[in-house]
Amino acid sequence: MHAVNSKLRVVTQLPLRGLWTDDGAINAMRVRDLSSSNIRELLRASEVQFVVVDLGQKPRWIALEDCYRFWLDEAQYRIAEPDVDSALAQKSGVYTYRAAEWESSEIKAPIVVLEVGH
């Protein structure tokens, strides 16, 4: 079996089962689903490593120094709350994110994976 080139690897299923960058796999584990208020708590404490994942695309790692701008401009109003059915959360023409916290010994900042809802 051949190793997949990380630069060519795309998301093939959600929920995500592992994290990677162009440099290779990240040793990380999904910890819990997050609500928008959970994410705000994380952002009050420190910078957050956002990772946007969408089927057929490479994970998009948001630079740490851009995490607050990304949250304010893009993500905060698109978070689907964990206890709300995905189909109900989808508004016509508007995508949402399912958020989950991941932990890694390789990345010190809290990791928030945002899965694009379809």
Q: What is the pLDDT of residues 58-73, one digit of tens each?
A: 999 999 999 999 999 9
Handedness of CA 61, 39, 101, 78 (dihedral sign): negative
Confidence label for 30 from pLDDT (cuts 50, 70 and 90): very high
d(CA 13, CA 31): 18
pLDDT by residue (tens digit) across 94-106?
Answer: 789 999 999 999 9
Range list of β-strands (E), the chain: 19-21, 24-26, 28-34, 49-53, 60-61, 97-104, 111-116
Name the DSSP class of 62. P
pLDDT confidence of residue 83:
78
> What is the residue extent of each domain of the chain?
19-116
pTM, entire model? 0.90
